[in-house]
A and B are shown apart, each in its own frame.
Chain A
């Protein structure tokens, strides 16, 4: 069997072309951001293990290419992002401040949501990052509203909405696609198919192979790609964003990827095999892209190590910032509920 990710691999010629268009500086930046996401997630896991955070978290280790390729193919800060529960990576790729993300994760007053939202709800409203969702598919109907607002305000923005394979089984997904489609709204529906919704494999949760195929029911163009190849991601999202901006209405994208960690903190992962995990780990998006950069002559091996170390240092600094930050004052408990 062809690996689901490889089945949708980017044509090697096209990959070269995309890399060339990006150039060495952007290529280097992509790699750095992927490492930063990985480092953030590993640190999150560690802090949780140390009892320094309470609550839950959903790690995106293994899915870094999807976050980085996606955000960078739209106009971050100008376009809109609606994120989901497994959203640390998208937030980092969007360029949201990592110190304030870490502070939020640790429940501090300096966090993006003043410690009120936590891991699952990081939002950077100033930069049109409209926040992460704890309700599966909860952001899809909102994306219709954001798309409508863009249309009514007559800007050339688009709304990027991230959700998982599991989310596509909610009624909200279907209602939202239909409505966005009939009104030709500038919404990019981006499904990260990491093969599972919690314990449920996509093989059990739907009777079709691809989530992208659902686009046809609503007259929405779609594309499937290797979500573990940052160039494939970038290429597909760029195409989608261009299509949307040309006034053709929404696009549905499906990134084939895989979550390496358990669903959340307490997952014994009895629903999948170690072999399957290993197969996907062999497609680790980070070394794959690093090798490409080296092959293209954009980086030396030693540069890769420097970039990696720098990313991990960024996260150490973020933790230091968060740890030095104050806890929210109980006197402010009931602030911010109403305007």
Chain B
């Protein structure tokens, strides 16, 4: 199926849309060309989804294919698993990624394991879209970044787009990947814009993107932290520091090669993600680099900049301090380049 779509096409200049628009456009076009695709989730119909991603789609495709569910995360996830098992391509929406805790059994014990357990004879080609992250004042139970929990589960793929262009292309690949794919969308990223091709296209899963080339330090960043790292890179360029920003796009499977080559080139590595640092994805990246040929090229310790090891606070200022901001990335990158560690 994926062969139909151009891979990584150039984005036309001037066609700048938000991430929400890019996702909606992708969902619409996917559904137009494939009746096996349907959407399922809480308040995705007439409400249009808590963040507006599915706005208007129910008018075009009807309530059968843009299916509102009761507040029942386990069952809605199971509805994805069961329908995917029998020929459909469901795209579920977890209104806030936090609520995925209620769907863990269906994802971890069922979706992830069905293919292997049944000798490779069954498949679960589903996508679960999850709205993740802090910065909206929604406090501890509506701000989580839980992606690394799923990185730890063989059988699931984990995708984290970093902008509108990436979101649309990765969504297409996720739908036709043939596996259960966890698709984490950052809430602050939703409103950010960039140029996006109008037609359907794919960005392969498992391929990292060098979002900016540089020679002094490799930053491996995920999701919204790619945008923040690029901003940090712009600021540091004024000081003559050239950061390379690498966006893995897919956390599992991870494109080791691109990461390793970058670190071989720069000799320094900083990993940035919003999720809590302890037990986060940064640890996996650090371990892989340390075990790779890049180890011999390292000129400084590998550093991580993750969210503080704490739940997200409500107060706006505290909330900001709980996760990496551009200033934090600038400071940490500068220290690392200047040999502070």
Binding site for B on A (CB under 8 A): 53-56, 107-108, 113, 115-121, 133-138, 166-167, 169-172, 197-200, 204-206, 267-268, 270-271, 327-328, 330, 333-334, 337
Of B111-119, B310-318, B330-338, the one touching chain A? B310-318
Main secondary structure of the interface of B (DSSP, over half): loop
Q: Is the CB of B310 within 8 A of A337?
A: yes
Q: Is the CB of A170 within 8 A of B139?
A: no
Within the complex, the shortest CB–CB distance from B143 to chain A, in Å, comes to 10
Q: Is the CB of A169 within 8 A of B70?
A: yes
Q: Is the CB of B314 within 8 A of A333?
A: no
Q: Is the CB of B71 within 8 A of A333?
A: no
Q: Is the CB of B321 within 8 A of A330?
A: yes
Q: How far is the CA of A28 from the CA of B59 in the complex (A)?
A: 50
Chain B 34-64 against A: per-residue CB contact (8 Å), 1 yes, 0 no?
A: 0000000011011100000000000000000
Q: Is the CB of A107 within 8 A of B314?
A: yes
Chain B, range 290-341, C-beta contacts under 8 Å to A: 308-311, 313-318, 321-322
B317 neighbours in A (Cβ, 8 Å)? 327-328, 330
Contact among A116, A270, A271 with B315 in the assembled complex (CB-CB below 8 Å): A116
Q: Which of A54, A108, A271 has the most CB of B within 10 A?
A: A54
Q: Is the CB of A116 within 8 A of B308?
A: no
Q: Is the CB of A328 within 8 A of B74?
A: no
Q: How far is the CA of A138 from the CA of B136 in the complex (A)?
A: 21
What 20 new A-B contacts, CB under 8 Å, besides A116-B313, A117-B314, A136-B71?
A: A54-B136, A54-B316, A56-B136, A115-B318, A120-B138, A120-B139, A166-B71, A169-B70, A169-B71, A170-B71, A171-B102, A198-B71, A200-B43, A328-B313, A328-B315, A330-B317, A333-B313, A334-B310, A337-B310, A337-B311
Residues A171 and B72 in contact in the complex (CB < 8 Å), given A107-B314, A107-B315, A328-B317? yes
A-B pair number, CB within 8 angstroms: 120
User: Closest residue of chain B to A272, judged by CB?
Assistant: B46
B141 lies within 8 A of chain A by Cβ:
yes
A328 neighbours in B (Cβ, 8 Å)? 313, 315, 317-318
Q: Is the CB of A55 within 8 A of B136?
A: yes
Q: Is the CB of A135 within 8 A of B99?
A: yes
User: Closest residue of chain A to B45, judged by CB?
Assistant: A199
Contact among A135, A199, A333 with B98 in the assembled complex (CB-CB below 8 Å): A135
Q: How large is the interface on B (under 10, 10 to 19, 20 to 34, 35 or more residues)?
A: 20 to 34
B237 lies within 8 A of chain A by Cβ:
no
Q: Is the CB of B315 within 8 A of A115?
A: yes
A167 neighbours in B (Cβ, 8 Å)? 71
B137 lies within 8 A of chain A by Cβ:
yes
Within the complex, the shortest CB–CB distance from B268 to chain A, in Å, comes to 28
Q: How far is the CA of A108 from the CA of B313 in the complex (A)?
A: 12
Within the complex, the shortest CB–CB distance from B185 to chain A, in Å, comes to 17
User: Closest residue of chain B to A334, judged by CB?
Assistant: B310
Residues A333 and B308 in contact in the complex (CB < 8 Å), given A116-B314, A198-B47, A199-B43? yes
Within the complex, the shortest CB–CB distance from B335 to chain A, in Å, comes to 20
Q: How far is the CA of A170 from the CA of B317 in the complex (A)?
A: 34
Q: How far is the CA of A53 from the CA of B75 in the complex (A)?
A: 35
Q: How far is the CA of A47 from the CA of B102 in the complex (A)?
A: 33
Q: Is the CB of B308 within 8 A of A334?
A: yes
Q: Is the CB of B313 within 8 A of A270?
A: no
Chain B, range 135-150, C-beta contacts under 8 Å to A: 136-142
Q: Is the CB of A121 within 8 A of B318?
A: no
B318 neighbours in A (Cβ, 8 Å)? 115-116, 328, 330, 333
Contact among B70, B98, B142 with A197 in the assembled complex (CB-CB below 8 Å): B70
Q: Which of A55, A119, A133, A136 has the most CB of B within 10 A?
A: A55
